């Protein structure tokens, strides 16, 4: 009898252990984490149909639908399709639009959320749009992801941190909070968000980081990254990324930023509608193949996620229970959002030779708290584990977010069978970029950031004229000029011996282009 009890206890313990996420204290094999945040696409839209390839993936089968009018049962029902291609215009993804998509109305008490207002919200913008948002790519149309999902890990339960637009979500990626932002406020973006970031935690621990940017580094929305001492962390992607990877010189924490501006010669590759997903696929392919060929490959984790769902349908109810506010800051009027629920599910893919082929990560399984989920704060939380940082979590949200370092610790040796090349994706958009188009809201924000980098934010033309009235071509030129001047001025300030803790602020360029760069120290 005693023996049986002992046996049962042992079995129970074994069971418990096998269900418990691995709290391994062993050193992580990862020394380089590469993060790429794409733009505005939901999980079901990009990866939902991959369920056909692996039924374990929580994707779609075409039975998912929304009524065109949530309060009229007789209104047409729009089913989720498999014909996504090129999307223009851009579906709604403001705080209000997303509330309607998730809850079907402005009533947010329904638990779990019904996820039934996507078609209705889209219909209020354009009668052709419901079909666009209730649609996903066939796996062969996103062949790069198809391969990565089958070769490495896909997370089918990773949510945007805020049910709102790009900037608040991007802020969570490296800091575990948006510091109260639920939308984009030009003045605040210009000033830069003040919260501490994972970059500083890494820097303090002596771990290097680097940002490889293309048009402009959106990471400069963090005010602290504008400190003189961090300027050397920014590298032009085209000139440096492949070289650094080839020479085994990639830093510990790497952010690759894509081209946000669409031009004929250099098409945007951020997947933001109306940009061509083909270009985004080409970019992911390039980053992967570069890492795969690097001597650092055996110590690398490459994470691809999306800032938010961009208005596209997803069938998984967004978490509304037990989500902690990161820092107690309440969002602005009229919503006074308490940051107590997450945004829509987005695609996330984890790539490393330490990951078993075909891994599917469903959720953090009640760790570190029963309500914990994967969301963008899982990035700093996991980075903290991988690098064994002794600093505390950046925010309460980061402390709550699930971490996934365990999927990198199931093997004793890295895989040797990872593909060296990914398939060539199919072209989706017919024709070229429209450089004469007016800039999108997201591009406006980036132009406003450029204005700050140039000092033009104190001109009366900011933010309306600078930003809102430019074409994509003008915006791109303005931005690239601003970035050049900013980094040049920084170098000058460094040579002049300016205190490296200072945040760089520029005086407006006014009319002269050749004037010596000036740095004003507040």
Which residues are near ligand NAG by CB under 6 A?
Answer: 25, 27, 62, 69, 71-72, 82, 106, 138, 295, 297-298, 388, 390, 413-414, 416
Cβ closer to ligand NAG: 28 or 40?
28
Contacts of 325 (CB under 8 A, 6+ apart): 338, 339, 340, 396, 397
> 76 or 366, CB closer to ligand NAG?
76
> For ligand NAG, which is the closer residue by CB, 295 or 392?
295
Other beta carbons within 10 angstroms of residue 282's beta carbon come to 18
Do 403 and 382 form a contact (C-beta atoms < 8 A)? yes
Closest CA to 284 of 73, 470, 39, 58: 39
Q: Give CA–CA dist 44/142, Å, rounded.
A: 13
Least distance (Å) between residue 81 CB and ligand NAG = 7
> Please, what is the minimum distance in Å from the beta carbon of residue 362 to ligand NAG?
24
In angstroms, give the least distance from the CB of 204 to ligand NAG: 13
Q: Which is nearer to ligand NAG, 31 or 196 (CB)?
A: 31
In the complex with ligand NAG, the residue whose CB is nearer, 52 or 229, is 52
The Cβ of residue 299 has, within 10 Å, a number of other Cβ atoms equal to 20
- Output the smallest distance, CB 375 to ligand NAG, in A: 25
Report d(CA 318, CA 281) in Å as an integer. 27
Is the Cβ of residue 21 or residue 414 nearer to ligand NAG in the bound state?
Answer: 414
Angle value at C-alpha 103, between 97 and 105, nearest 5 degrees: 65
What burial class does residue 8 get, using C-beta atoms within 10 Å of its C-beta: 0-12 exposed, 13-18 middle, 19+ buried?
exposed
Chain-centroid distance of CA 95 in Å reads 17
Q: CB of 290: closest distance to ligand NAG in angstroms? A: 13
Query: CB 138 → ligand NAG: shortest distance, Å?
Result: 5
Nearer to ligand NAG, 82 or 110 (CB): 82
Least distance between ligand NAG and beta carbon 245 (Å): 11
Q: C-beta of 21: minimal distance to ligand NAG in Å?
A: 17
Q: Which two tokens stand for residue 348?
A: 């996330």
Helices vs. strands in the chain: H and E counts, helices first:
15, 14
What's the min distance (Å) between Cβ of 459 and ligand NAG? Answer: 36
Alpha helices in 87-209 (DSSP H): 95-103, 118-123, 129-133, 143-151, 166-175, 186-191, 198-204
Q: How far apart are the first and last CA of the chain?
A: 77
Choice between 388 and 410, CB closer to ligand NAG = 388
Closest to ligand NAG by CB, 29 or 326? 29
Residue 511: count other Cβ atoms within 10 Å of its Cβ: 6
CB atoms within 10 A of CB 227: 18
The pairing of strands 374-375 and 158-159 is parallel
For ligand NAG, which is the closer residue by CB, 221 or 297?
297
Q: Which element (helix H / strand E) includes 298?
A: none
**CB of 503 vs ligand NAG, minimal distance in Å:** 30
CB of 504 to ligand NAG, least distance (A): 33
Nearer CB in complex with ligand NAG: 191/415: 415
Cα–Cα distance for residue pair 25/20, rounded to 1 Å:
14
Kindly state the smallest distance separating residue 352's Cβ from ligand NAG, in Å.
11
Is the distance from CB of 401 to CB of 343 less than 8 angstroms? no
- The smaller minimum CB distance to ligand NAG, of residues 130 and 273, is found at 130
Which residue has tokens 């996620």?
305
Given the complex with ligand NAG, which of 141 and 174 has the nearer CB atom?
A: 141
CA distance 503 to 331: 26
Nearest to 326 by CA among 313, 310, 344, 342: 342
Would you state the structure tokens that stand for residue 54, as one six-digit string? Answer: 């692996």
d(CA 9, CA 343) in angstroms, rounded, equals: 41
Nearer to ligand NAG, 106 or 410 (CB): 106
E strand or H helix at 481 = helix 472-495
Q: Which two tokens stand for residue 389?
A: 């940082």
Distance of alpha carbon 423 from alpha carbon 160, whole angstroms: 28
- How far apart are CB 480 and ligand NAG at their closest, in Å? 35
Main-chain phi, psi angles of 394, to 5 degrees: -65, -40
In the bound complex, what is the minimum distance in angstroms from residue 373's beta carbon to ligand NAG? 26
């Amino acid at each position: 009898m005693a023996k049986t009890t002992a046996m049962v206890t042992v079995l129970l313990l074994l069971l418990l252990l096998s269900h418990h996420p691995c709290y391994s204290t062993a050193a992580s094999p990862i020394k380089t984490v590469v993060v790429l945040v794409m733009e505005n696409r939901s999980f079901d839209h990009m990866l939902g149909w991959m369920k056909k390839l692996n039924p374990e993936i929580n994707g779609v089968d075409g039975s998912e639908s929304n009524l065109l009018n949530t309060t009229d049962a007789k209104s047409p029902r729009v089913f989720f399709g498999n014909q996504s291609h090129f999307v223009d215009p851009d579906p709604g993804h403001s705080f209000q639009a997303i509330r309607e998509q998730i809850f079907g109305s402005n009533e947010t008490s329904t638990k779990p959320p019904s996820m039934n207002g996507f078609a209705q919200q889209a219909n209020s913008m354009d009668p052709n749009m419901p079909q666009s948002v209730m649609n996903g790519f066939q796996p062969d149309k996103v062949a790069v992801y198809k391969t990565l999902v089958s070769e490495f890990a896909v997370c089918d339960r990773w949510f945007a941190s805020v049910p709102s637009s790009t900037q608040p979500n991007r802020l969570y990626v490296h800091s575990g909070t948006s510091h109260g932002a639920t939308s984009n406020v030009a003045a605040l973006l210009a000033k830069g968000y003040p919260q501490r970031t994972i970059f500083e935690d890494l820097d303090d621990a002596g771990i290097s980081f680097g940002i490889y940017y293309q048009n402009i580094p959106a990471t400069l929305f963090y005010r602290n990254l504008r400190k003189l001492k961090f300027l050397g962390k920014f590298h032009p992607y085209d000139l440096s990324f492949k070289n650094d990877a080839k020479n085994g010189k990639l830093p510990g924490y790497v952010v690759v930023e894509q081209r946000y501006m669409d031009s004929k010669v250099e098409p945007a590759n951020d997947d933001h509608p109306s940009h061509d997903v083909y270009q985004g696929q080409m970019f992911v392919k390039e980053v992967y193949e570069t890492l795969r060929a690097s001597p650092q490959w055996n110590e690398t984790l490459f994470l691809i996620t999306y800032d938010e769902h961009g208005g596209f349908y997803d069938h998984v109810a967004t978490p509304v229970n037990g989500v902690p506010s990161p820092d107690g800051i309440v969002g602005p009027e009229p919503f006074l959002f308490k940051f107590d629920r997450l945004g829509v599910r987005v695609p996330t893919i984890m790539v490393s030779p330490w990951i078993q082929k075909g891994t599917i990560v469903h959720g953090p399984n009640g760790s570190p708290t029963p309500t914990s989920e994967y969301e963008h704060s899982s990035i700093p939380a996991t980075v903290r584990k991988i690098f064994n940082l002794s600093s505390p979590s950046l925010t309460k949200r980061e402390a709550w977010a699930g971490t996934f370092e365990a999927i990198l610790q199931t093997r004793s040796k890295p895989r040797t069978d990872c593909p060296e090349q990914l398939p060539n994706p199919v072209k989706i958009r017919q024709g070229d970029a429209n450089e004469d188009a007016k800039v999108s809201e997201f591009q406006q924000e980036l132009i406003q950031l450029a204005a700050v980098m140039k000092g033009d934010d104190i001109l009366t033309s900011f933010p309306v004229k600078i930003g809102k009235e430019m074409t994509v071509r003008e915006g791109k030129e303005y931005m690239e000029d601003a970035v050049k001047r900013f980094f040049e001025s920084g170098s000058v300030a460094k040579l002049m011996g300016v205190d490296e803790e200072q945040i760089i602020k520029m005086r407006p360029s006014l009319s002269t282009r050749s004037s010596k760069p000036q740095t004003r120290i507040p």
